[in-house]
Amino acid sequence: MEATDHLKASLGAAVALANTFGSEWRQGRPAAAPDVAAVLRLTTNRLVAADRSDFAAGGKKLYDALSCLPEGQVDKAVQIVNELLKATKAAPQLLRQKEDAPWHLHFGSTDEATGWLAEFATAVAMLLGSDDLERLRRCEATRCDDLFLDTTRSRTQRFCSTACQNRTKVAAHRARTA
């Protein structure tokens, strides 16, 4: 899937939002309280006031949809994303922040949660319609429920972060030397 930088950022933010509301364990620890503002900063260079409760249901739906992909349940993921697209009334429109700024494609108002969720659902829909479905994976570390996009050229990434990779390798080393 050839994508613009904005689409890549939106897809990364969609996965981050999904993990924020769906993962019970993150990098070996119980998941912390969601930080929606940090997720939204992945797609924009400005601070966005965000109420966690406005994003909770949509974030959980994104996690449910994306969680279907590592198990090969694409049809179920499509059904969930289609429901989210309908609920958010995702409609493409070109917007820009300032008079001389470049145009950006958005799928709803960027000032409300519904618009952000529409954009993230659209990014996931574009992933579902591409040949890159296998790039979305679940972290292989114990006590981590996070999903991630494998952006490596060799498509061999197994962990969501170096923290999970190191934790797994240390545990394997200790098991071998015990």
Domain ranges of the chain: 5-177
The reported pLDDT for the residue numbered 2 is 55
CATH code for the structural domain at 5-177: 1.10.3300.10
For residue 87, pLDDT beyond 60? yes
> Distance between CA atoms of 133 and 80, rounded to whole angstroms?
16
pLDDT band at 138 (very low <50, low <70, confident <90, very high): very high
Q: What are phi and psi of 104, to 5 degrees?
A: -130, 140
For residue 86, pLDDT beyond 50? yes
**Closest residue by Cα to residue 90 from 104, 105, 78, 107:** 107
